[in-house]
Structure 1
Amino acid sequence: MSSAARAPQSRWEDQRSFDELGRPLRDTTFCVVDLETTGGSAAGGSMITEIGAVKVRGGEVLGEFQTLVNPRAEIPAFIAVLTGITNSMVADAPSIDSALPAFLEFAAGTVLVAHNAPFDVGFLKHFAEQLGQPWPRFEVLDTAKLARRVVTRDDAPNCKLSSLAKAFGSSTTPNHRALADARATVDVLHGLMERLGGLGVHTLEELQTFSSRVTAAQRRKRHLAEALPHAPGVYLFRDDRSRVLYVGTSKDLRTRVRTYFTASETRSRMGEMVGLAASVTGIECATPLEAEVRELRLIAEHKPKYNRRSRFPEKVHFVKLTREAWPRLSLVRRVLDDDGDYLGPFSSRRTAEKCLAALHETFPVRQCSDRLGKEPSRSPCVLAEMRRCLSPCDGSADEATYAAVVRQLRDTLLRRPDEVVEAINRRMTALAELERFEEAGMHRDRLATFIRAAARTQRLSALTRCPEVVAARREDDGRWSVHVVRHGRLAAAGVIPPGADAHQFVRELRASAETVAPAPGPVPAATAEETERILRWLEAPGLRLVDVDGEWVCPVAGASRHLAVYDAVNQSRLSLVPFDEQRGLLRPEHQPAR
């Protein structure tokens, strides 16, 4: 895959400076806010009665904000006792429609901090929406959440503001008045920051994602992230013998990798992996899609111990309709250039067998594995005696009759699954009427597996038949990304530099793209997972097709039109099953075939 054509390096250089190491806490402006309200739920009708806030940077108070708010409703007696705010005190106070804009102006450009932030920020956002006031894209820090990761029971009995204020020696005692509580929260914030500074937490990013479950040994390795760029790409953790331990992808390599050492990565396997890591290699990619594809290929190549998924794309199964005198269905491990028709791939043999059973239930083709000549002469098998096979082996079926059934089967696999759907639905209805629900459920699962497999195969085959598809889309940063896809495989990726000739850029990208040879089967030139990632990008809103070589089409009457029904059935089953029993419904056979 080529990704040589990219935006100029200066784009990233412009972003470097302090961002290279994250935003230092000493240079970050925080607005610590506290509210008093008439109850616990803004959606339930509770109102704000007071807003208090303190703006701080580098330990210095830059300003304070305080206002009572007229709730336009009676303050409940127990709230008045708790806060000391009475109806008479708020009678002449401004209403929320003037108090809120004043606070938002005060807090503009800061990181919003609150103790139990979902409560305070939830109220503010609720009334901003009610007033039609745009909500600024505040970053939010919750001192209660942070304290639960830092403070032990030896420090404080709990993480209430009053307990923490005492533990950190706050000069202000919280008293359920907004400004006093905000001042106490400032002292708690500074106390937490001072304690975490000794653990190597010096930036806002590290503070936001700090977890006490990340060990000191992990934090000491945070320097391994410093050479990585702020760019999309793939990262590889390696041990002291350069063996790949783990492969991941991110839109921002440095920020993501840093979290393994200083932040919220709490998976025990990842902690074990970081303990073994001696280096991290970054591969910068032109686009997020290129990064996703490279990740899949690197996982398949190195099979890292700590990656759970995508390590063995070669371990798949296909259902094959053979091309011979008397065709049959069989399970195979790979696609050959033998003119056969293939359905798949399936990640497990069990799932493939379910699909095979659904087809055999509908089409009475032979299930024996022997090769039969033009005029076979053998004894019929048990399936023939049960009328579940046309029995060409003993001459019960002539060649024309058998060929007609095979044509229907091939049409079901490639274009129209209605025959299988109708046959199995009739069978399920009959079983349900006899109250044989467990058996009916087995048929339902077989049908759902077939539908998903057929839809997947048709989508994959449609793209892999095209020698080349060139497409572009405007990404979140406003730039146009371009991808060249050949036979379902990503052959080139790039981003059009600002001011460049788009047509010339695309021509050069196509010229430098990987040469991909066609091959048989629904996913001949790439893994199914890679082609599906590409399809998701191609099907996303805002995509523009630059050029298509071949016909990229799926059958109108294909299996995809049945998917919604069976996916809805599975979701309804999940909603009706107790939570602790749902895991059984999420086994691979209940998921889209892979």
Structure 2
Amino acid sequence: MTGQLTFDEIDDELPLHRATFVVVDLETTGGSSRQDTVTEIGAVKVRGGEVLGEFGTLVDPGREIPPMVVSITGITQAMVHGAPRFDSVLPAFLEFARDAVLVAHNAPFDVGFLRAECERLGVAWPKPAVLCTAKLARRVLGKDETPNHKLGTLARVLHARTTPVHRALDDARATVDVLHALLERLGPLGVRTVPELLEHLPDVTPQQRRNRGLADPLPHAPGVYLFRGPNEEVLYVGTASDLQRRVRQYFTAGERRARVKEMAGLAQRVDHVECAHPLEAEVRELRLLGAHQPRYNRRSKFPKRTWWVVLTEEAFPRLSIVRTARDGALGPFRSRTAAAAAVEALHAGGSLRRCTERIPARDQRGRPCALHELGRCAAPCAGLQGVEEYAPEVISVREVISGSPRWEPGGLLDRLRAELGRFSAEERFEDAAAARDRLAELVRALDRAQRWAALAAVPELVAARPDGSGGWQLAVVRHGRLAAAGNARRGVPPMPVVDALQAAAETVVPEPGPLRGAPADEVRVVHRWLTTGGTRLVRCAQPWSEPAGSAASWREWLERAAKARAPYPAAD
């Protein structure tokens, strides 16, 4: 048996008997990938009719399993007690399924859950080729052969060795037998390669088939691709570790998004930009999205559409939501709603005024509002609080936003946690849950903002990441932006390459604001690359350090909150 070919190495003529398939089945708490979670995963890896391995485990869903689901699957709360959470199972499964064609019966359901979990956990979806045995069965079997295309029916009609019983591994084994039986039917029809198999499904439009040749000129290299329409307009932008392989997938049944299938049919040409490594590809994609705003892309098209929370510049500062960043701002937030939630949390932990009128430093003539009667405001508008008495609250908010090392216990975040503890002690569980969620979202926003701001403050740093082949991927970062990217292949001295990259790197002029003018999405991908994958710092113009106070000291609390079985995390 030859070694497995990765999808980065194969060509369009990979025969079915040499292709690796991973057949997966999930059991869940319900049918919504956005609201429900996984209770069991089972997968079988096969090639050439031979089983190469199996993967299966129960999963703790972190919530109650509905009685109706228990009656169908037989998976009870006791069975998943002590089982791993899906955040620890998912990386192992993705490694198990790496470089394989992903197969499932009713694939949109199973793959939808996997994609949603990747998104929730911040894990990049590997974009495998996907085959749905339910759709394949509708294409291969006539109405006289099977009354329906349910897995149990197909297993019986096609004489599967395993009977599906709504348990993940057994159902995956049954799907393997169904897959092999269907593939045998396709042999006489001339379907002998993986691309031919994917194109055989009815979801491939004639326009997609016609345009498949658009991928032929592209190289087998990492980079960014741009689909162009009849008027040379950019329809869609994406990244790939193998440009030709990825673009070719848009013209197969593996592409299930209706809008993207429409785009693939409209395209007249595919341009590309080769990149040194995936970080450069991600950054170039973000910049091209912002420049062209392609109508078929849904994300990151408007990098400037962010929101910030700031303290106003007046005698009695208040919190305000603005579109333009300034020094000392909290953010960025993708929506005004998210920014408003942060403002509400900051207000809940202190007594900053909420009114919007400008209050002079002296001769206040207002009347106290209802918040004063509730103890939420000291009424500076009515002269009941002076500038000096008001200042400590302003300082507290500024320090918690900046992550000041002068932060001490008893500050704003501790007051919010104390409120949570009071609600739980009074058995006000709904209020406790709301307070927990409010505090957790604020801590996440602060932690993210402080990490990104610390990176953007560094004028220049050079980093290197192992490329897996004995060489290095190199990046020059200036104020959070990627200024240059390159490679030092195995056997090439890396430092001369570093010197050349620094000399040719883009000049970055910092602007006001925590991110020094860098787009939030670019800072996000650069920060992730720098802090994962064994990346090492080569040079740094000044020490790059993230604040240890404020949100950073709450990461352990966040982890416990996420894992807590109670409706709210216990207060310390």
* TM-score above 0.5: yes
> Is the contact made by 1:465 and 1:550 (CA closer than 8 Å) also made in structure 2?
no
Q: CA distance change for structure 1 residues 481 and 443 in 2, over 3 Å: closer, same or farther?
A: same
Among 399, 407, 424, the residue aligned to 1:411? 399
Paired position in structure 1 for 2:140:
151
Amino acid of the structure 2 residue aligned with 1:391? A
**Residues of 1 paired with 2:414 and 2:217: CA distance?**
59
> Is the contact made by 2:198 and 2:252 (CA closer than 8 Å) also made in structure 1?
no
The C-alpha deviation readout for 1:122-175, integer Å capped at 9, x for no partner, is 47999xxxxxxxx9999689899495374132584379699779xxxxxxxxxx
Paired position in structure 2 for 1:526:
518
> Is the contact made by 2:19 and 2:100 (CA closer than 8 Å) also made in structure 1?
no
Amino acid of the structure 1 residue aligned with 2:336? R
Q: CA distance change for structure 1 residues 314 and 124 in 2, over 3 Å: closer, same or farther?
A: closer
| Structure 1 alignment gaps of length 5 or more | 1-14, 34-110, 127-134, 166-181, 577-594
Of 520-529 and 506-515, deviating more is 520-529
**Residues of 1 paired with 2:56 and 2:358: CA distance?**
71
**Offset of residue 480 of structure 1:** 0.7
The answer to whether residue 197 in structure 2 is matched with residue 195 in structure 1 is no
Q: CA distance change for structure 1 residues 280 and 185 in 2, over 3 Å: closer, same or farther?
A: closer
SS in 2 for 1:230: coil
Among 492, 516, 528, the residue aligned to 2:484? 492
Amino acid of the structure 1 residue aligned with 2:350? F
The answer to whether residue 252 in structure 2 is matched with residue 268 in structure 1 is no
| Structure 2 alignment gaps of length 5 or more | 22-45, 58-95, 104-130, 160-175, 568-572
Paired position in structure 2 for 1:345:
332
| TM-score, scaled to structure 2 | 0.69
**Offset of residue 384 of structure 1:** 3.3
SS in 1 for 2:315: coil
CA RMSD of aligned residues (A): 3.9
Among 86, 102, 113, the residue aligned to 2:48? 113
Among 253, 276, 279, the residue aligned to 1:286? 276
Paired position in structure 1 for 2:415:
423
Of 230-239 and 461-470, deviating more is 230-239
> Is the contact made by 2:158 and 2:181 (CA closer than 8 Å) also made in structure 1?
no
The answer to whether residue 388 in structure 2 is matched with residue 396 in structure 1 is no
> Is the contact made by 2:207 and 2:266 (CA closer than 8 Å) also made in structure 1?
no
**Offset of residue 23 of structure 1:** 3.2
> Is the contact made by 1:225 and 1:280 (CA closer than 8 Å) also made in structure 2?
yes
Among 353, 365, 375, the residue aligned to 2:352? 365
Amino acid of the structure 1 residue aligned with 2:299? R
**Offset of residue 210 of structure 1:** 6.1
Q: CA distance change for structure 1 residues 311 and 392 in 2, over 3 Å: closer, same or farther?
A: same
> Is the contact made by 2:307 and 2:324 (CA closer than 8 Å) also made in structure 1?
yes
**Structure with greater contact order relative to length (CA < 8 Å, sep ≥ 6):** 1
**Residues of 2 paired with 1:138 and 1:227: CA distance?**
23
Amino acid of the structure 2 residue aligned with 1:401? E
> Is the contact made by 1:471 and 1:546 (CA closer than 8 Å) also made in structure 2?
yes
**Residues of 2 paired with 1:276 and 1:257: CA distance?**
14
The answer to whether residue 553 in structure 2 is matched with residue 565 in structure 1 is no
**Residues of 2 paired with 1:342 and 1:417: CA distance?**
21
**Offset of residue 391 of structure 1:** 2.9
The C-alpha deviation readout for 1:167-195, integer Å capped at 9, x for no partner, is xxxxxxxxxxxxxxx9x999975652452
What is the correspondence of 1:450-461 to structure 2 with a 5 Å cutoff? 450-461=442-453
**Residues of 2 paired with 1:152 and 1:401: CA distance?**
79
Larger radius of gyration: 1
Paired position in structure 2 for 1:300:
290
Q: CA distance change for structure 1 residues 565 and 269 in 2, over 3 Å: closer, same or farther?
A: farther
SS in 1 for 2:329: strand
**Residues of 1 paired with 2:486 and 2:186: CA distance?**
44
**Residues of 2 paired with 1:308 and 1:417: CA distance?**
42
Paired position in structure 2 for 1:90:
none
The answer to whether residue 375 in structure 2 is matched with residue 387 in structure 1 is yes
SS in 1 for 2:444: helix
**Residues of 2 paired with 1:357 and 1:524: CA distance?**
26
**Residues of 1 paired with 2:199 and 2:559: CA distance?**
36
**Residues of 1 paired with 2:526 and 2:247: CA distance?**
25
Q: CA distance change for structure 1 residues 112 and 553 in 2, over 3 Å: closer, same or farther?
A: same
**Offset of residue 377 of structure 1:** 2.0
**Residues of 2 paired with 1:462 and 1:370: CA distance?**
34
What is the correspondence of 1:28-67 to structure 2 with a 5 Å cutoff? 30=18
> Is the contact made by 1:246 and 1:306 (CA closer than 8 Å) also made in structure 2?
yes
Q: Would you say how many aligned residue pairs link Structure 1 and Structure 2?
A: 447
